[in-house]
Structure 1
């Protein structure tokens, strides 16, 4: 299970996948290279190569979340991250 907190996105067991300040963009477009029912996070720093089948994968500056995730859950998390990014952009302006 993945957990989204104010600190970032982590696995339920405690492994931090990405901190909020490392997220550059959220891409859930039709042509994005993302898992099914999921979204793609573009990061500011390269991360380790990780793969949890049906949950997420990370390669370089890309973190794809989804696969066996229900569509509504993936959309809600992507919406929350996009809202955070929009708020972060306004705060920097």
Structure 2
């Protein structure tokens, strides 16, 4: 997609919410604040109410990106802790595999 944007084939990027663009707030911010405007691309995050065409709505965007990153880190820690606890209790850690006949 980045190549298409740089080639001028894309003029709007739409995501469900900001977390779908990225969970690293620095990278997401770089795309929203620098990359998209430099390439004349409009960015819309539907569920977060973000539309780069309305600059007044963009003030809260960096804070939402920070919250998305913290949420991602928190979930990762919880999953790792849960797996560690299951393994230490000797519980089954694998999943089901698909058998092709």
Band of TM-score, shorter chain:
0.3 to 0.5
More strand by share: 1
Q: Between the two structures, name the one with larger relative contact order (CA 8 Å, sep ≥ 6).
A: 2
Give the structure-2-normalised TM-score. 0.34
Give the structure-1-normalised TM-score. 0.36
- Of structures 1 and 2, the larger Rg is shown by 2
More helix by share: 2
